[in-house]
């Protein structure tokens, strides 16, 4: 059923159906008026998950929440105890959960997704919380027949993508506005900070900015304060503002998201260098370079295992949900569903543990994928530092959803092995033999840092990224506009890029003599030898495939300047196929 909505105040709603009609008259006990508290919100609209942090006046930032006893909350319109489960299953799809709070069934970060009826006409106006909604129960409960769930909103280019993103933004802003109103907040003094990825083009950013501003002004008016900030710069300010991390010497901040990784170097509390590239969580789990869910090594290995656990514990509902998600033929979606089971309240209430991250930590067959992922990130950062003659940093900060994958490499509390790898990489790239005292910051909830940091980020510290952005195309080859570094001339750079990548592989496998892979990480020798042969064999083809894929994304505009390193292209093409081959080799 499609909801008929109005944009103005009303006294009653008349409902008419083929067999009945009636009136809905809202019962307002008290008038909600403008309060005195100043609320600040920071929204991190991510590829995989979206998070909101807020603070009241000068308080400590905390995750957005809707508490169960909050008045005037639409999630409490339906009293669960008055109705049977079948009715509730359908009737509550279009309203917020009764409670959104830390360690509850529904909490932020929330999967970046939207749901709507399959017959929704996006050529007509759609309404958030009407015929398009944020599906808080996604990955937890099944949906009504003909419900469509869309993920990957951030980079979606389909014809209806604008309406979908606007619907997502609108619901977030409605939730924020209502929180201000019912908690003695002053709407006009509200501050909303939204973050954006550095890899987003200026054109894309202008469209995103217009959507945010139009939506915020629609529900808050023109007096509200709106600020945009690059999501990759803010985690550092959480560490300095909340934890007192000094930055007199260079500090490296690496934000690893679902689609992109961003590197920022800070000194004296300000960013001095920035770089961004499409090598993040999707490079491990995604369908890169025309791959699909049927040839995904992680899905092949774990889908049946997880389904078996659910079946043994009589969790038919969750088992069916995983079947439905897998049927959409998107590897990222099913892998993210695996991760979500760790905090699934239905399982926790029955003491059923399914922790996909822990399973990966013990996977000696596929662990080399994560070791490659981490080491290559550090290797590229070190080369970037060297190319710009920046002093060797001793503090590395990690944030972003996919940075939790580093615990697959080293699950210890002190992260000694991750620190050791950084030291080995620095010695290799800077040709030194020093022993570096590396400080590594890797929080339990890395996705929350961008939003928390935004609330410590002062408006006058905002800078033009283009002034400090660097692209290390390959070793010792920094992007230079004067040299005509464009994609239509990229073939001239392929040889050097391939050489850089193979030098990395040489170093990576030589690490085995300094930190034995089997003893340190549990990687068996046969898996290492197989991976070594596979990666060298596929190096050139996957480099070319990466370049070709990028040019296709540009839709023929190959004269565009090279905007990211070529170093990771072979790995983006290799990690997924290597995982599949490792799982299926005889």
pLDDT at 479 over 90: no
Contact 545, 260 (CB under 8 A): no
> What sign does the CA torsion over 406, 410, 415, 418 have?
negative
Phi/psi at 261 (nearest 5 deg)?
Answer: -120, 140
The per-residue pLDDT for 459 is 65
Contact 282, 258 (CB under 8 A): yes
Same domain, 130 and 249: no
Domain boundary (167, 199, 230) is at 230
Confidence band for 300, pLDDT divided at 50, 70 and 90: very high
Structure tokens at 62: 């905390």
Contact 347, 354 (CB under 8 A): yes
Q: Among residues 405, 400, 568, which one has the least CA distance to residue 48?
A: 400
Q: Distance (Å, rounded) from C-alpha 333 to C-alpha 48? A: 9
Same domain, 481 and 580: yes
Q: Going along 231-310, which residue ranges are E strands?
A: 251-256, 261-267, 270-277
Confidence band for 259, pLDDT divided at 50, 70 and 90: confident
In the predicted model, what is the mean pLDDT of residues 525-545? Answer: 96
Q: pLDDT by residue (tens digit) across 482-516?
A: 776 888 788 888 999 999 999 999 999 999 999 99
Q: Let me know if 386 is exposed, middle or buried by CB neighbors in 10 A (0-12, 13-18, 19+).
A: middle
Tell me which of 369 and 549 has the higher pLDDT.
369
Provide the residue range defining the domain that includes 512.
Answer: 234-283+365-584
Contact 119, 89 (CB under 8 A): no
Same domain, 452 and 528: yes
Confidence band for 12, pLDDT divided at 50, 70 and 90: confident
Confidence band for 93, pLDDT divided at 50, 70 and 90: low
Domain boundary (214, 230, 246) is at 230
Is 225 within the bounds of a domain?
yes
Is 47 within the bounds of a domain?
yes
- Flag the least confident range among 7-11, 131-135, 235-239, 274-278: 7-11
Greatest mean pLDDT among 106-115, 370-379, 449-458, 542-551 lies in 370-379
Is 349 within the bounds of a domain?
no
pLDDT at 536 over 90: yes
Instruction: Provide the β-strand partners of residue 36.
Output: none
Residue 144 is classified by DSSP as -
Q: Among residues 336, 325, 330, 326, which one has the least CA distance to residue 287?
A: 330
Q: pLDDT by residue (tens digit) across 331-378?
A: 999 999 999 999 998 999 999 999 999 999 999 999 999 999 999 999
Same domain, 393 and 445: yes
Greatest mean pLDDT among 67-81, 146-160, 426-440 lies in 426-440
Q: Distance (Å, rounded) from C-alpha 132 to C-alpha 130? A: 6
- 147-150 β-sheet, strand order: 132-133, 114-117, 147-150
Q: Distance (Å, rounded) from C-alpha 363 to C-alpha 89? A: 37
Percent of the chain with pLDDT over 90: 55
- Flag the least confident range among 3-7, 544-548, 558-562: 3-7
Contact 377, 280 (CB under 8 A): no
Same domain, 225 and 245: no
- Flag the least confident range among 156-160, 217-221, 301-305, 575-579: 156-160
Is 538 within the bounds of a domain?
yes
Is 438 within the bounds of a domain?
yes
Kindly report the CA angle at 310 between 309 and 315, in degrees rounded to 5? 155
Q: Distance (Å, rounded) from C-alpha 137 to C-alpha 159? A: 26
Instruction: Provide the β-strand partners of residue 227.
Output: 193
pLDDT at 266 over 50: yes
Contact 42, 61 (CB under 8 A): yes
CATH number at residue 506: 3.30.420.260
Q: pLDDT by residue (tens digit) across 54-91?
A: 999 999 999 999 887 776 666 666 666 777 766 666 66
In the predicted model, what is the mean pLDDT of residues 90-98? Answer: 71
Same domain, 120 and 251: no
Confidence band for 193, pLDDT divided at 50, 70 and 90: very high
Question: How far apart, in Å, are the Cα atoms of 359 and each of 65, 110, 297, 345, 405?
Answer: 30, 23, 14, 19, 12
Number of domains the chain contains = 2
Structure tokens at 224: 């509200």
- Flag the least confident range among 147-151, 178-182, 511-515, 557-561: 557-561
pLDDT at 32 over 80: no
pLDDT at 1 over 60: no
Tell me which of 568 and 27 has the higher pLDDT.
568
Same domain, 74 and 168: yes
Same domain, 370 and 456: yes
Is 466 within the bounds of a domain?
yes
Is 337 within the bounds of a domain?
no
Same domain, 187 and 252: no
pLDDT at 265 over 50: yes
Phi/psi at 557 (nearest 5 deg)?
Answer: -90, 65
Same domain, 199 and 269: no
The per-residue pLDDT for 86 is 66
Q: Among residues 400, 401, 395, 402, which one has the least CA distance to residue 419?
A: 395
The per-residue pLDDT for 585 is 86
The per-residue pLDDT for 3 is 47
Write down the mean pLDDT value for the chain.
88
The per-residue pLDDT for 2 is 44
pLDDT at 92 over 80: no
Domain boundary (192, 211, 230) is at 230
3-state secondary structure of 486: strand
Same domain, 197 and 258: no
Q: Going along 82-179, which residue ranges are E strands?
A: 110-111, 114-117, 132-133, 147-150
CATH number at residue 87: 3.30.420
Same domain, 383 and 420: yes
Is 52 within the bounds of a domain?
yes
Q: Going along 28-69, which residue ranges are E strands?
A: 39-45, 49-56, 62-63
In terms of phi and psi (left: phi > 0; alpha: psi -120 to 50; beta: otherwise), the region of 72 is left
The per-residue pLDDT for 402 is 92
Listing DSSP states for 497-540 in one string gives: HHHHHHHHHHHHHHGGGTS-HHHHH---HHHHHHHHHHHHHHHH
pTM, rounded to two decimals: 0.88
Q: Among residues 584, 387, 399, 533, which one has the least CA distance to residue 473?
A: 387
């Amino acid at each position: 059923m499609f909801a008929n909505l109005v944009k103005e105040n009303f006294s009653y709603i008349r409902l008419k159906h083929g067999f009945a009609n009636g009136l809905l008259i809202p019962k307002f006990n008290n008038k909600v008026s403008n309060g005195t508290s100043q609320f600040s919100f920071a929204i991190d609209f991510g590829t995989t998950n979206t998070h909101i942090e807020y603070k009241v006046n000068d308080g400590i930032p905390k995750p957005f929440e809707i508490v169960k006893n909050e008045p005037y909350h639409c999630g409490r319109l339906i009293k669960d105890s008055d109705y049977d489960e079948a009715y509730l299953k359908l009737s509550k799809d279009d309203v917020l959960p009764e409670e959104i709070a830390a360690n509850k069934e529904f909490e932020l970060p929330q999967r970046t997704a939207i749901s709507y009826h399959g017959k929704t006409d996006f050529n007509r106006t759609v309404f958030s919380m009407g015929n398009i909604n944020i599906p808080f129960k996604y990955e937890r409960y099944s949906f009504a027949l003909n419900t469509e769930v869309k993920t990957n909103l951030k980079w979606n280019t389909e014809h209806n993508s604008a309406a979908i993103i606007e619907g997502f933004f609108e619901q977030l802003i409605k939730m924020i506005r209502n929180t201000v109103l019912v908690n003695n907040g002053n709407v006009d003094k509200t501050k909303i900070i939204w973050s954006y990825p550095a890899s987003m083009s200026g054109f894309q950013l202008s469209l995103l900015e217009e959507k945010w501003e139009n939506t915020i002004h629609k529900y808050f008016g023109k007096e509200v304060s709106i600020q945009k900030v690059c999501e990759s710069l803010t985690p550092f300010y959480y560490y300095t503002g909340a934890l007192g991390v000094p930055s007199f010497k260079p500090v490296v901040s690496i934000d690893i998201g679902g689609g992109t990784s961003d590197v920022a170097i800070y000194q004296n509390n300000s960013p001095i260098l920035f770089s961004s590239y499409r090598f993040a969580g999707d490079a491990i789990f995604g369908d890169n370079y025309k791959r699909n869910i049927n040839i995904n090594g992680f899905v092949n290995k774990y889908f049946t295992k997880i389904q078996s656990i659910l079946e043994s514990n009589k969790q038919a509902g969750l088992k069916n949900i995983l079947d439905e998600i897998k049927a959409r033929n998107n590897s990222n979606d099913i892998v993210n569903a695996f991760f979500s089971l760790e905090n699934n309240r239905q399982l926790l209430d029955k003491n059923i543990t399914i922790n996909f991250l822990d399973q990966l930590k013990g996977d000696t067959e596929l662990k080399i994928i994560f070791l490659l992922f981490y080491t290559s990130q550090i290797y590229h950062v070190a080369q970037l530092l060297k190319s710009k003659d920046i002093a060797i940093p001793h503090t590395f900060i990690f944030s972003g959803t996919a940075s939790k994958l580093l615990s697959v490499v080293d699950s210890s509390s002190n992260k000694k092995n991750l620190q050791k790898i950084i030291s080995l990489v620095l010695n290799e790239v800077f040709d030194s033999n020093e022993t570096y005292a590396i400080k590594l910051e890797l929080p339990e909830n890395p996705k929350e840092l961008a939003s928390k940091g935004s609330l410590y980020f002062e408006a006058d510290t905002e800078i033009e990224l283009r002034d400090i952005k660097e692209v290390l195309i390959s070793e010792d080859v920094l992007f230079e506009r004067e040299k005509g570094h464009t994609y239509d001339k990229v073939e001239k750079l392929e040889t050097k890029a391939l050489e850089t990548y193979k030098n990395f592989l040489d170093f990576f496998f030589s690490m085995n003599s300094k930190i034995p892979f089997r003893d340190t990480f549990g990687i068996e020798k046969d898996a290492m030898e197989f991976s070594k042969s596979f990666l060298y064999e596929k190096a050139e083809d996957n480099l070319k495939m990466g370049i070709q894929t990028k040019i296709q994304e540009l839709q023929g505009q190959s004269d565009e300047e090279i905007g990211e390193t070529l170093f990771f292209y072979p790995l983006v093409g290799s990690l997924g196929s290597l995982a599949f081959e490792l799982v299926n080799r005889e």
